[in-house]
Homo-oligomer: A and B are copies of this chain.
Amino acid sequence: MKIDPALADLVGYAVQRAHLTVMDDLRRRLRPFDISPAKLTALLLIRANPGTDQTRLGKALSINRSSAMKLVNVLAERGLVERRPGRDLRSNALHLTEAGSEALTRMVEATRVSDDAIVARLSASERATLLRLLQRVCSTGSRAPRASDAPPEDAEN
């Protein structure tokens, strides 16, 4: 299948293909952990922000609190995350469990291995350049970092 020449010189298209390459590799290496990149990001956010609540987690992931609740349900059922009493009687404080913390350490290691494989063909200075240019692309936009491939807009958020 040919691709349309109208896209060949678009940075956005190159970013999209690179994203697919990255995610394919990451998903493959994450397979032993049975965790999607989006759930991994949720774990990382909880580790970096222990005690955060579901609504805030959802905002960081660009999903609404209803979807965030389902996500936390799955992670809690699997014993990776626990809900503790929050800052008031309405909210939960999310924390990694011991098992979740240990599992996350191994997942992050797999993520690093994946990243190393992806950039194996680039020199250290090329990596730094790529990182810098991508960060400038991001700062063009207005959105917060996120991990899943979520739909368009922020309906409720």
Contact = CB atoms under 8 A, between A and B. Distances in A.
Interface of A: 1-7, 9-28, 31, 37, 44-45, 47-49, 52, 56-57, 59-60, 108, 111-112, 114-115, 117-122, 126-127, 129-131, 133-141, 143-147, 149, 151-153
Q: Interface SS of chain A: helix, strand, loop or mixed?
A: helix
Nearest to A130: B133
Contacts of A119: 11, 137, 140
Contacts of A49: 1-2
A97 B55 CA distance: 45
B111 A21 contact: no
19 contacts: A2-B49, A3-B45, A4-B45, A4-B47, A4-B48, A4-B108, A14-B131, A14-B134, A17-B145, A21-B141, A21-B143, A22-B137, A23-B149, A27-B152, A28-B152, A117-B140, A118-B137, A119-B137, A130-B130
A19 B15 contact: yes
A15 to B, nearest CB: 5
A112 B12 CA distance: 9
A111 B13 CA distance: 10
Contacts of A22: 11-12, 15-16, 137, 141
Contacts of A60: 1
A21 B134 CA distance: 10
B18 A15 contact: yes
A52 B28 CA distance: 30
